[in-house]
Amino acid sequence: MATPTFKKLMYRLGGAGLDVWRRRLGLGEEQTAIDLCHRLVGLRGEASAIVIADEIISRFNAMNDDQALQFFEQLVDHFQPDSESLKIAAEFYLAEPGPEAASALADAALAPRQSVFRLLSTSPAGVPALVKLRERLLAFLAKNPQLQPLDSDLMHLFLSWFNRGFLELRRIDWQTPAHILEKLIAYEAVHEIRGWDDLRRRLAEDRRCFAFFHPALQDEPLVFVQVALTQDTATVIGDIIDEAMSDELIPPKTAIFYSISNCQSGLRGVSFGNFLIKQVLLELKQEFPSIENSLTLSPVPNFRRWVQSVLADPDLIETYGLSENRVARLTALDQEIKNNNEAADLLEECRPALLRLCAAFLLFERRADLPKDAVARFHLSNGASLDQVNWAGDLSARRLKQSFGILVNYLYEADKLEQNHEQLVNDGEIAASSIVKKLANGKHTRRAA
C-alpha cells in the first residue's frame, strides 16, 4: 500500500487539519523563514516539524532574488558549527592527531545547516524543494563565494541521498504515465522533442528510452537516455529523428544512444549518466542478444569555438598546417554560420579540413589531461572509444554553430570499458578507431603531435 502523503491526509481529515495545526503552531507572518529554521532545529515533535518544514519551503518558494540571497546568507551565518567546540577540537587534533581526534573534529566541524536541510527533507515536498533550492543557490554562487559552505553542505547530503544504490532504472515507453512523458518533452536537451507525436515516434517499438528515478523525487526523472535499435550504424541524426522506421520485428544488430539528458540542474555535480549508460547496455544485451554494436551519435559542442581560437592564433594555424586560403574559407564559413546564413557550398568546401581538425581536436586537445570537449570527456572517461567522425550529421542551426554540423560516434564495448578508462586516466591515452587516428594524423595535422 502506497500511503497518501501527509498533506493529502491532512486535507482529507478535513478543514480541521493543516490550517488548525498551522494556527496552533503560531506560524504567523511575524516569524521569518530563518526564525522558523531555528525553531525546526529545536523541535522534537515530528508531526509539527513537518508542518514547519512545509511552511519554510513555501516561504522560500515565494522569495524574490534579494530575499533568497539574504536567506542563504542567514543560513550560512546562523547555523555554523559551534566555534568554541570547534576551536577546542581543532586544537586537540593538532596536539594529538589520530583517528579519534580526527573523527571528533569532523563531528565538531559539521555545520548545523545540514540538520536544517535534513529536517526540511522530512516534508513530503522536502527533497524536491531542496533540489530546486540548490538550483537557485548555484545561480548566486559565482558572485557570492561566501555561499560556498552552503553548497558544500547540500552536495554532501545529495551525494548520500542520490547514491547509485538508491536509483531506480525504469523503462519509458508509450505505456508510461502522461505526467512523466511530459517531463521528457520538457527536459530533452540534445534533440528537442516537438510535441506528443514526435514523442510517440521516439518511444516506438524500435526505440528504447530509460531513466533513473529516485524514491524521494517520485516521478521526476533524474537523467534519461534515448536509444534507437537499428541494423546499421547511424551517422546522421535525421535517420533517427525523422524517418519512420519499419515496425517489423527484425532482431536489431545495433544500439544507437542518440540522446542523454540530465533533468535536474539542482543536482549538478552528482553524476548519473555514466551509470545509466552502463546499466542500459546490460538491459539491452539482455532483451536483444542479437545486438552486436552499441554506440552513440553525439554532438561536439566545443568544436567550433576551438576552431575560432585556432583561426585567431598564427601559431596554431601553423601547428595544424592550415594554408592561407583555407584559413580564409574557414573564417568566411564561421561568419556565415554566425549570421545564420545558408552556406552549403562553402561548408562542403571546408569538409576535409573540418573533419581532420575535428578528429585532431577530439584526440589531442585536453583540459587537465581529459578531452577538452565536454561530450567527449564524458564518453571517453566512461571507457568508450572514439569510433567515427561524421560529416553533416546534424545540419540544424544549433549544431552548425557548435560543430559545423559534425556528429561523432563513440563506441561502447563492454569488455574494453575498464581498460579504456584506465588508459585515459592513467596514461592520458584516448581509445580511437584506426580511421579516426589516421584522419587526425593526416599530413599537416599537427607537426609536433
Alpha-carbon distance of 213 to 167, in angstroms, equals: 6
Distances (CA, A) of 404 to 302, 346, 349: 11, 11, 12
Tell me how far apart the alpha carbons of residues 386 and 378 are, in angstroms, rounded to a whole number: 12
Least distance (Å) from its own copies to the CB of residue 421? 5
421 is catalytic: no
Does 171 contact its own copies by CB under 8 A?
yes
* Contacts with its own copies, 364-383, as mask; x by CB under 8 A: -----------------xxx
User: Does residue 186 belong to the site contacting its own copies (CB under 8 A)?
Assistant: no
Q: Which three cell numbers stand for residue 136?
A: 537557485
- Does 90 participate in binding its own copies (rule CB under 8 A)? yes
In terms of Cα–Cα distance, which of 212, 184, 215, 217 is closest to 199? Answer: 184
Q: Which of 274, 293, 308, 331 touches its own copies (CB under 8 A)?
A: 274
What's the min distance (Å) between Cβ of 399 and its own copies?
28
Query: Per the residue annotation, which of 123, 261, 298, 403 is the catalytic one?
Result: 298
Total residues at interface with its own copies (CB under 8 A): 96
194 vs 338, which CB is nearer to its own copies? Answer: 194
CA 333/CA 210 separation, integer angstroms: 38
The stretch near its own copies (CB under 8 A) out of 108-116, 228-236, 354-362, 437-445 is: 108-116
320: DSSP letter: T
Exactly one of 379, 381, 396, 434 is catalytic; name it: 379
Q: What residues have CB less than 8 Å from 364, skipping those under 6 apart?
A: 440, 446, 449
Integer Cα distance of 65 and 313 in angstroms? 41
3-class secondary structure, 389: strand
* Minimum CB–partner distance for residue 425 and its own copies (Å): 7
Contacting residues for 415 by C-beta, under 8 A, at least 6 apart: none
Longest Cα–Cα distance in the chain: 80
Cβ-based nearer residue to its own copies, 238 or 269: 269
| Residue 379 falls in the annotated catalytic set | yes
Nearest-10 crossing angle of helices 46-62, 33-42: 160
27 forms part of the interface with its own copies (CB under 8 A): no
> Does residue 19 belong to the site contacting its own copies (CB under 8 A)?
no
- Residue 257 engages its own copies in binding (rule: CB under 8 A): no
Question: Residues 126 to 155: which contact its own copies by CB under 8 A?
Answer: 126-127, 145-146, 148-149, 152-153
Based on the shown chain and the rule CB under 8 A, indicate whether residue 93 belongs to the binding site for its own copies: yes
Q: Using CB under 8 A, which residues numbered 213 to 232 contact its own copies?
A: 215-216, 219
Active site residues per annotation: 298, 379
